[in-house]
């Protein structure tokens, strides 16, 4: 089957089978910035925003996302014009291997969108669906705090 | 270090923005035209012989192109260990074998036009197994009547003990002094047995491989590897392809921790590509990574120490039994490291005995895992020391300070125990462990909390524990790193390194080193790493070697470039080369202060006069492996009624020499420490009665998330290692050693119960609280 998706602001017509998982369809069509770490809804590497809600794309049928608005990590900023959240991750040294980072950054972006001034506990709760084995989460936590501070200053 | 431009500075990791914006590519992100997709059939039996394999129906599934198994692939014994040549691991592995040796051992591989076809065909392969009696208990593996796993022509490549007829994958023995006399001199003997469990590396990126042919018909392999050059060699060896026909590319790697040193996937995928002259790809599922890749070796360590009442250890006997699993990859070297990394620590023990054995069992395969034997050894060692210090009424920190190896000192163990063979004698040139202990104990408020059993709730009691350890920096006389460098018109430099950045940031720190020598900002160094066609050789990312070994190669290479710069500049300035120094991207005459910019030097050398490319290369091997040292502290709250144990704070104070990049060094320590805490408290392999792992998902194999971590504090205690690049030692592995013993000791401090067997789950704590009489 075929379906129209709005991915990072652009309309894309993608073809897929009825049982196909959104993560696989995205990756097969070049959106490889959405990572696949477990395919079981646990690691959070495949996180995207679907109609402004944070979801693990490995847990969504492509068919269920037709016509919806999808934002991947490339949709919030790019290498030439990064989002403050992306910059904060760089500055604090929160990026090691970086495989989990697109998911983590999107989860943090989603948090600040809904709660611009989160406390420590709220940051932890917002990111507890994203596994990272490299950083020990210390600098990830710092990055989110730094981004929140920066974004509040620039409002 | 105030005059340093790059060293000791938190330079931004050069790929971090591209990773955070999603433009970097990992192996499975690469597109290749029209590939075959692979799926692997695994054994449901722990031990069996394949009587017959029938693929006729499976081959009829539309889209299936090939099914390979023991009957139709070359029989080439090798090891998947991904080590230098000749490997210290036994040659006991085939691409596919007639015999399967654990639940998860590979039986066949389907290559098909689509993933779906490949999986459909898997279900249609009919295998007739003759089950054999399995061996699950390492203690029984060497018994006479126990079935043997490797009974054909498996063999060792180096002169080391390898007796598959006894299920003995490796044996290491060293002895000094007179053990009998040592134990006789003792006032008391502490004799304890410790057990360390299986674990998965859990790199979030699963193993993946892509093979394709380039325009000229050469085989290109993109792989999630820590050892691209070893991959090239081993694929060549197993497939009988000249190394010159193979190119291995390491893109971004999503974490390794030792799990991606193993070359178990590349030869299979390359073989399919070679048979069909087509692109082929595979990406493992999480379950496959858990069960069929590699694990931390489970181990039993018995420590017997003869001790005088004043605390002096008169004899130490360490007996280690390692569960190698079904194949002997790293079987010799991990057990060697249990001794070689822990025993030199208390270097004044005169009577010392170490016996380490690795045995085959029909369980998942062990392999390299961050810490590599030191993690297992230090769990036992630190708890033993705690027991001794308590019995002799000493503060364990003072006790450690009294007896640990110090600057200028050596240990006979360094020479006696190497990587599967004799080691290399060395004296310690840098050791700031005492400062690590002091600053770490201050951060955890040791003397305010130790032995106080502070109540923090109805049944909650506080305890603190400390653990110390050392690691190495590369493998002396074995590891080799090479690099090359060239200059561009604008005074930037291309740096080509074989060294393998697996997410650690080694590309960045190598650029910092080059930039420091040349006195240019790190951003002026453009790094290309780990492509066997484009970069010089490097043994790869393991054994905490990259900063120390590869970093030194880069330092040497940059010095060569610096001399060439000065030579050109001396002609341009009409002064002698020895009068020149480099700074601010200029060559400056120290007498006249006249200078010439790097850009002008480059332009002159490339276009104007006596033209040549300013370029250099360098190789580095090492004669020593200076250990970094660490002191780690856990503060826990334990519920005496329920056994619930929570790590409240964790402190790591590390002497890694001069940190090249403090932020990245901290990141290594924090990541390793959290991995270690997670391993200690909640990670475990559960097996059922037929040897099958029952929890191969992140749902059931719990690893720490951001909500689980305690307050973390990391202290970099600077030292200067004169043999390292700008004084650096390693930092990648060491911090995983301390959590298990520190938490176990904190539990004893809080509740008076000693856990000898990991993991330390709340259930186990509760059980011990019921069974034992807490002290």
C-alpha distance from A106 to closest chain B C-alpha (Å) = 10
Which residues of chain A lie closer than 8 angstroms to B666, CB-CB?
93, 138-139
Residues contacting residue B593 through CB under 8 Å, at least 6 positions apart: none
Give pLDDT, residue B420: 75
Segment 348-387 of chain B within 8 Å of chain A by CB: none
Mutation choice for A interface testing from B20, B259, B708, B739 by most A CBs within 10 A: B20
Q: Are B465 and B471 in contact (CB under 8 A)?
A: no
Give pLDDT, residue B137: 98
B17: closest chain A residue by CA: A90
Segment 193-222 of chain B within 8 Å of chain A by CB: 201-206
Give the nearest partner residue to A132 out of B29, B201, B204, using CB atoms: B204
Q: Are residues B425 and B500 in the same domain?
A: no
Give pLDDT, residue B418: 87
Give the phi and the psi of residue B130 in degrees, each rounded to 5.
-105, 105
Task: Please state, in angstroms and rounded to a whole number, the distance separating the CA atoms of residues B378 and B301.
Answer: 10
Give the nearest partner residue to A93 out of B29, B664, B704, using CB atoms: B664
List strands edge to edge, sheet with B352-360.
B161-163, B168-176, B352-360, B313-325, B298-307, B188-196
Domain edges within chain A: 2-75, 84-153
Q: CB contact, 8 Å: B775 with chain A? A: no
Using alpha carbons, select from B6, B25, B7, B29 the residue that is nearest to residue B15.
Answer: B25
| Number of helical H runs and strand E runs in chain A | 5, 5
Give pLDDT, residue B1: 43
Average pLDDT, chain B: 97
Q: Are residues B451 and B338 in the same domain?
A: yes
Cβ contact (<8 Å) for B706 and A141? Answer: yes
Residues contacting residue B738 through CB under 8 Å, at least 6 positions apart: B378, B382, B467, B468, B469, B630, B631, B632, B652, B673, B676
Distances (CA, A) of A32 to B29, B37, B208, B265: 5, 17, 14, 22
Range B95-104 average pLDDT: 98
Count up the domains in chain B and report the number: 3
Give pLDDT, residue B774: 73
pLDDT band per the 50, 70, 90 thresholds, residue B209? very high
C-alpha distance from B257 to closest chain A C-alpha (Å) = 9
Q: Are residues B310 and B442 in the same domain?
A: yes
Q: Are residues B212 and B98 in the same domain?
A: yes
Q: How many residues are given for chain A?
A: 155
Per-residue pLDDT reduced to its tens digit, B326-376: 999 999 999 999 999 999 999 999 999 999 999 999 999 999 999 999 999
Q: Are residues B503 and B583 in the same domain?
A: yes
Mutation choice for B interface testing from A18, A26, A48, A96 by most B CBs within 10 A: A96
A83: closest chain B residue by CA: B21
- For residues B685-707, one letter each, b for 16 or more C-beta atoms within 10 angstroms of the residue's C-beta and e for the rest, the string is bebeeebbbeebebeebebbbbe
Cβ contact (<8 Å) for B706 and A93? Answer: no
C-alpha distance from A139 to closest chain B C-alpha (Å) = 8
Q: What is the CATH number of the domain that holds B81?
A: 3.90.1170.50
Give the β-pairing of B525-529 and B493-497: parallel
pLDDT score of B636 more than 80: yes
Using alpha carbons, select from B535, B364, B479 the residue that is nearest to residue B83.
Answer: B479
Q: Are A95 and A56 in contact (CB under 8 A)?
A: no
Q: Are residues B371 and B429 in the same domain?
A: yes
Over pLDDT 70: what percentage of chain B? 100
Which residues of chain A lie closer than 8 angstroms to B206, CB-CB?
36-37
Domain-terminating residue out of B621, B652, B684 = B621
Range B445-454 average pLDDT: 97
Per-residue pLDDT reduced to its tens digit, B115-170: 999 999 999 999 999 999 999 999 999 999 999 999 999 999 999 999 999 999 99
C-alpha distance from B399 to closest chain A C-alpha (Å) = 31
Assess if residue B532 is contained within a domain. yes
Q: Which CATH architecture has domain A84-153?
A: Orthogonal Bundle (1.10)
Give pLDDT, residue A154: 83
Strands (E), B694-772: 711-716
Assess if residue B692 is contained within a domain. yes
Range B203-230 average pLDDT: 98
Cβ contact (<8 Å) for B254 and A97? Answer: yes
Q: Are residues B705 and B743 in the same domain?
A: yes
Task: Please state, in angstroms and rounded to a whole number, the distance separating the CA atoms of residues B149 and B252.
Answer: 37
Cβ contact (<8 Å) for A129 and B257? Answer: no
How high is the ipTM of this complex? 0.99
Q: Are B308 and B187 in contact (CB under 8 A)?
A: yes
Range B711-739 average pLDDT: 97
Range B556-564 average pLDDT: 98
Per-residue pLDDT reduced to its tens digit, A9-56: 999 999 999 999 999 999 999 999 999 999 999 999 999 999 999 999
Give pLDDT, residue B2: 54
pLDDT band per the 50, 70, 90 thresholds, residue B422? confident
Segment 680-739 of chain B within 8 Å of chain A by CB: 697-699, 703-707, 709, 712, 714
Q: Are residues B279 and B337 in the same domain?
A: no
Cβ contact (<8 Å) for A93 and B10? Answer: yes
A127: closest chain B residue by CA: B706
Q: Are residues B222 and B314 in the same domain?
A: no
Domain-terminating residue out of B563, B590, B621 = B621
Cβ contact (<8 Å) for A98 and B15? Answer: yes
Q: CB contact, 8 Å: B34 with chain A? A: no
A124: closest chain B residue by CA: B707
Give pLDDT, residue B171: 97
* First-to-final CA distance of chain A: 44
Give the helix, strand, coil percentages of chain B, each rounded to 5. Answer: 30, 25, 45
Q: Are A45 and A38 in contact (CB under 8 A)?
A: yes
Q: Are residues B592 and B609 in the same domain?
A: yes
Per-residue pLDDT reduced to its tens digit, B491-502: 999 999 999 999
C-alpha distance from B675 to closest chain A C-alpha (Å) = 7
Q: Are residues B380 and B273 in the same domain?
A: no
Say if domain A2-75 classifies as CATH 3.40.50.720.
no
Task: Please state, in angstroms and rounded to a whole number, the distance separating the CA atoms of residues B133 and B289.
Answer: 26
Per-residue pLDDT reduced to its tens digit, B496-537: 999 999 999 999 999 999 999 999 999 999 999 999 999 999
Assess if residue B616 is contained within a domain. yes
Domains A2-75 and A84-153 fall in the same CATH topology = no
Task: Please state, in angstroms and rounded to a whole number, the distance separating the CA atoms of residues B60 and B464.
Answer: 64
Per-residue pLDDT reduced to its tens digit, B669-686: 999 999 999 999 999 999
pLDDT band per the 50, 70, 90 thresholds, residue B176? very high
How many other β-carbons are positioned within 10 Å of the β-carbon of residue A64?
10
Assess if residue B157 is contained within a domain. no
Segment 506-565 of chain B within 8 Å of chain A by CB: none
Q: What is the CATH number of the domain that holds B424?
A: 3.30.365.10
Cβ contact (<8 Å) for B205 and A79? Answer: no
Segment 91-150 of chain A within 8 Å of chain B by CB: 91-93, 95-102, 105, 123-125, 127-141
Q: Are residues B491 and B541 in the same domain?
A: yes
- Domain of B569 in residue numbering reads as 480-621
B551 Rama class: left (phi>0) / alpha (psi -120 to 50) / beta? alpha
Domain-terminating residue out of B621, B649, B676 = B621
């Amino acid at each position: 089957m075929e379906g129209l998706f709005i991915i990072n602001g652009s309309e894309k017509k993608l073809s897929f089978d009825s049982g196909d998982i959104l993560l696989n369809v995205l990756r097969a069509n070049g959106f490889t910035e959405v990572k696949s770490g477990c395919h079981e809804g646990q690691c959070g590497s495949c996180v995207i925003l679907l109609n402004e809600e944070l979801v693990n794309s490995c847990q969504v049928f492509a068919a269920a996302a037709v016509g919806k608005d999808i934002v991947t990590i490339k949709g919030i900023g790019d290498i030439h014009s990064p989002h403050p959240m992306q910059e904060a991750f760089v500055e604090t040294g929160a990026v090691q291997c970086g495989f989990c980072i697109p998911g983590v950054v999107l989860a943090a972006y989603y948090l600040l969108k809904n709660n611009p001034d989160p406390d420590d506990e709220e940051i932890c709760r917002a990111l507890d669906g994203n596994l990272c084995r490299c950083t020990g989460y210390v600098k990830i936590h710092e990055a989110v705090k730094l981004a929140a501070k920066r974004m509040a200053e620039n409002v | 270090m105030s005059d340093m431009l790059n060293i000791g500075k938190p330079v931004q990791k050069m790929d971090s923005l591209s990773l955070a914006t999603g433009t970097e590519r990992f192996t499975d992100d690469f597109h290749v035209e029209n590939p075959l997709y692979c799926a692997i059939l695994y054994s449901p039996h722990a031990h069996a012989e394949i009587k017959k394999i029938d693929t006729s129906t499976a081959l009829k599934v539309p889209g299936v192109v090939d099914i390979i198994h023991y009957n139709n692939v070359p029989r080439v014994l090798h090891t998947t260990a991904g080590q230098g040549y000749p490997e210290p691991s036994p040659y006991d592995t085939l691409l596919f074998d007639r015999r399967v040796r654990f639940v998860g051992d590979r039986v066949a591989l389907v290559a098909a036009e689509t993933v779906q076809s490949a999986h459909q065909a898997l279900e249609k392969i009919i295998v007739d197994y003759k089950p054999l009696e399995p061996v699950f208990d390492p203690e029984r593996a060497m018994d006479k009547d126990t079935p043997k796993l490797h009974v054909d022509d498996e063999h060792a490549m180096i002169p080391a003990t390898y007796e598959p007829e006894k299920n003995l994958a490796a044996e290491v023995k060293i002895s000094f002094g007179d053990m009998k006399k040592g134990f006789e001199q003792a006032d008391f003997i502490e004799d304890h047995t410790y057990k360390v469990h299986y674990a998965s590396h859990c790199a979030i990126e699963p193993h993946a491989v892509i093979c394709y042919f380039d325009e000229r018909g050469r085989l290109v392999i993109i792989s999630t590897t820590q050892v691209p050059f070893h991959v090239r060699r081993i694929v060549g060896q197993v497939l009988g392809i000249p190394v010159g026909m193979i190119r291995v590319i390491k893109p971004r790697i999503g974490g390794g921790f030792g799990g991606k040193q193993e070359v178990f996937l590349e030869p299979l995928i390359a073989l399919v590509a070679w048979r069909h002259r087509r692109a082929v790809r595979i990406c493992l599922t999480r379950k496959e990574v858990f069960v069929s890749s590699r694990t931390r070796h489970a181990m039993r360590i018995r420590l017997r120490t003869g001790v005088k009442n004043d605390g002096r250890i008169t004899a130490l006997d360490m007996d280690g039994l390692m569960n190698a699993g079904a194949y002997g990859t790293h079987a010799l070297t991990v057990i060697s490291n249990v001794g070689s990394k822990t025993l030199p620590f208390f270097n004044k023990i005169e009577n010392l005995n170490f016996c380490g054995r690795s045995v085959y069992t029909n369980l998942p395969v062990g392999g390299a895992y961050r810490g590599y034997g030191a993690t297992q050894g230090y769990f036992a060692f630190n708890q033993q020391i705690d027991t001794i210090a308590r019995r002799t009424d000493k503060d364990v920190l003072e006790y450690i300070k009294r007896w640990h190896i110090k600057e200028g000192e050596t240990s006979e163990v360094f020479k006696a125990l190497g990587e599967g063979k004799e080691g290399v004698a060395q004296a310690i040139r840098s050791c700031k462990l005492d400062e690590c202990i002091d600053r770490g104990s201050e951060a955890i408020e040791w003397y305010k909390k130790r032995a106080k059993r502070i109540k923090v709730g109805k049944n909650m009691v506080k305890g603190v524990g400390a653990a110390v350890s050392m690691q190495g920096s590369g493998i002396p006389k074995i590891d080799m790193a090479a690099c090359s460098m060239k200059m561009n018109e604008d005074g930037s430099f291309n740096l080509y390194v074989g060294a393998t950045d697996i997410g650690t940031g080694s590309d960045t720190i190598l650029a910092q080193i080059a930039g420091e020598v040349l006195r240019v900002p790190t951003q002026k160094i453009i790094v290309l790493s780990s492509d066997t066609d484009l970069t010089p050789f490097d043994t790869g990312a393991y054994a905490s070697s990259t900063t120390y070994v590869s970093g030194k190669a880069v330092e040497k290479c940059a010095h060569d470039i610096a001399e060439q710069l000065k030579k050109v500049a001396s002609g341009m300035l009409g002064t002698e080369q020895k009068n020149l120094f480099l700074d601010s991207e200029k060559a400056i005459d120290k007498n006249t202060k006249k200078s010439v910019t790097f850009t002008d030097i480059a332009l002159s050398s490339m276009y104007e006069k006596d033209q040549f490319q300013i370029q250099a290369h360098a190789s580095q091997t090492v004669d020593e492996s200076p250990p970094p040292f660490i002191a780690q502290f856990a503060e826990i709250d334990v519920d005496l009624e329920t056994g619930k144990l929570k790590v409240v704070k964790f402190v790591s104070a590390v002497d890694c020499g001069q940190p090249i990049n403090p932020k990245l060094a901290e990141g290594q320590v924090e990541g390793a420490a959290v991995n270690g805490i997670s391993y200690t408290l909640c990670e475990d392999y559960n097996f059922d009665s037929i040897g099958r792992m029952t929890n191969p998902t992140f749902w059931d194999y719990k690893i720490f998330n951001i909500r689980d971590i305690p307050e973390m504090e990391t202290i970099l205690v600077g030292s200067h290692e004169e043999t390292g690049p700008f004084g650096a030692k390693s930092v990648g592995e060491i911090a995983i050693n301390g959590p298990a013993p520190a938490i176990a000791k904190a539990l004893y401090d809080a509740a008076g119960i000693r856990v000898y067997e990991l993991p330390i789950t709340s259930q186990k704590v509760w059980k011990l609280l019921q069974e034992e009489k807490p002290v």
